[in-house]
Amino acid sequence: MINDSILKSLINKPKKISNLDFSEVSDIITQAQEIFEEEKLLIELNADKDEEIFVIGDIHGNLESLIKIYDLIKKKDPKYVIFLGDIVDRGQFQLECLIIVLSLKILYPNKYFILKGNHETLEMNKYYGFYDVYMMEFNQYSQFDEIISLYNKLPICIVVNDSILCLHGGIPENFEILNEFKTLDKKQLDETIPESVEYAIFQIMWNDPKEGLTGFMDNFRGPGIKYYGYEVFNEFMEKYNLKYCIRAHEVFPEGYRWFFDHKLLSIFSSENYRGDYYPNPASYAVIKNKTVSGELIG
């Protein structure tokens, strides 16, 4: 077991993370996994009128952005912090970002929540970098199984105050999915999961909103992935009596973007994700008093 003071020192001095040996990293993964195992696929959170909730988008190994976010959290002390997934792949400090987020979860399990993004999968990690980062560091293929097993324990969405839906990509074509999440045991996910549920989870992690569209439409990102339009989005939200949706998954030069008549907020928390020639500020969302606002991280 890694104790709290070590975890705190890793969060405050992330450069120490590259000095950890495999057994220490493995301990952190195991401890975090035990906490995620007890969480539901759909988590419901409630906050009082004057309490803030921070929602954080894609990090993608951008340690500088993550540190700025953590400084903000320390300063403003929100009641909950929700990460919408895509912590690793692409950036320069992927292991550091993952270990920091997991350490926060272990230290404060009822304050920090981490949802699954489309990069919390083996296929994406093999293609976009984290698998190689891990192999370079620890050098044993079988050890990546722990990471995959951790990913499979992550929750998929959070509903705040019965009215605000938080997820990585967006709504799926299967409108029953939130009801199905309430009856499904996450422990089943490793074994037998209905194909319709598996596909809905895939779409929740991958789908994008599109203005000017009414229904669903094929997405250029790849097979099975959809764009969702205003009408189907509204239908889904009304079915569950939801007012706002906060999602991540797409970078915008202005930092965050509202869709669908100010009902869907798209955030992204990795600054200059595509390099200095296509700059973007990092952004996050604040939920307070049943309203949602987009904020830039300065």
The contact set with Mn ion (CB under 5 A) reads 86, 117-118, 249
- Nearest in space to 41 (alpha carbons), one of 162, 149, 154, 118: 154
In whole angstroms, how close is the CB of 248 to Mn ion at the nearest point? Answer: 7
In whole angstroms, how close is the CB of 247 to Mn ion at the nearest point? Answer: 9
Burial class (CB in 10 A: 0-12, 13-18, 19+), 195: exposed
Closest residue to Mn ion, judged by C-beta, is 249
Task: Return the number of the residue (249 or 257) whose C-beta is nearest Mn ion.
Answer: 249
Maximum separation of any 2 CA atoms in the chain, in Å:
52
Task: Return the number of the residue (7 or 119) whose C-beta is nearest Mn ion.
Answer: 119
Distance CA 150, CA 112 (A): 16
In whole angstroms, how close is the CB of 76 to Mn ion at the nearest point? Answer: 26
Question: How far apart, in Å, are the Cα atoms of 226 and each of 113, 122, 222?
Answer: 26, 21, 9
In whole angstroms, how close is the CB of 59 to Mn ion at the nearest point? Answer: 10
Q: How many CB atoms lie within 10 A of CB 175?
A: 14
Task: Return the number of the residue (210 or 249) whose C-beta is nearest Mn ion.
Answer: 249
Distance CA 181, CA 166 (A): 14
Helix, coil or strand: residue 86: coil
Task: Return the number of the residue (86 or 96) whose C-beta is nearest Mn ion.
Answer: 86
In whole angstroms, how close is the CB of 98 to Mn ion at the nearest point? Answer: 15
Task: Return the number of the residue (118 or 219) whose C-beta is nearest Mn ion.
Answer: 118
